[in-house]
Amino acid sequence: MTAAPRDFTPARVSIGQAIGLHATDDPLDLRSSVALVVDQRTGAPLFSKNAQAVLPIASITKLMTALVVIDSGAPMGETLEITAADIDTEKNSGSRLPPGTRLSRGEMLQLALMSSENRAANALGRNHPGGLRAFVDAMNTKARALGMPDTHFVEPTGLSSSNVSNARDLSRMVREALEYPLVRQFSTAPGLTVDTGYRMVSYRNTNRLISSPTWDIGLQKTGYISEAGSCLVMQVSLDGQAVVMVLLDATGPSSRFGDAQRLREWLEHGGARAAPMRTVAAPSFGS
């Protein structure tokens, strides 16, 4: 046997992988361990795989961040400043918004939704009346009001693996978010260029399906941390039917988009009318 190099670091597995969710069979051979498709109007499930498994949700968190920001009534034109308090010490992720950057609340919100900008999301929470703690309390209060019993937030970016939910709860959050025109507009924008005060910085949407003319997407959010795997929620219109898709814990950054395509083809070929797919949920993580 050949010894592993000394600097070899095993790949970190997601929580879903660790508790065996990827062992769940599904007829579409999805790479996501959790998948749920519901009718947007009624919430009725059309496809379900491990939909009750409670897992970290990464930047899907930012949808709730957006709802709380908008609910607060804070002016979108007000200027907010990125400070050292917004630097990620959880995952040490980078950002193109250095401390001292001054942008409007609306620009911060669009960057958080469209490009998953973590410093922007934290600044939004930090500038909430009462500060960051009050903002997180409002996130959890909103979750309870929406009937999301398996959801809990500890911060507004999704960098913490203690932000947890399940697909069932997230489908409710997406259906609520669809009632917010700014969330629909900002999450599906193809790009935005902002002036950081140091230079002009251009951002693109993290969801590559936004640029595809074959997809009619009304709302979306991507997410990734190692504990959560790659995640995606979307509202899409397929042959006149509006549906909400939730995909969690995909194995690889592109797999969630491939899974969305597989689910789309299944729906368009009448799979949901033939037999809604349900699978038994594996053990949950979090509370």
Known catalytic residues are 59, 62, 116
Tell me how many helices (H) and strands (E) the chain has: 9, 11
Q: Is residue 88 packed enough to be buried (19+ CB in 10 Å), middle (13-18) or exposed (0-12)?
A: middle
C-beta neighbour count of 148 within 10 angstroms: 21
Q: Tell me how far CA of residue 34 lies from CA of 42, 140, 219, 223, 261, in angstroms.
A: 21, 23, 19, 14, 15
SS3 18: helix
Query: Which of 69, 90, 219 lies closest to 139 in space, CA to CA?
Result: 69
Three-state SS letters, 133-194: HHHHHHHHHHHHHCCCCCCECCCCCCCCCCCEECHHHHHHHHHHHCCCHHHHHHHHCCEEEE
Q: For the chain, what's the residue count?
A: 287
The pairing of strands 79-81 and 102-104 is antiparallel
For 217, the token pair is: 């997407």
Beta bridge partners of 167: none
Q: Give the separation between CA 178 and CA 75, rounded to whole angstroms.
A: 20
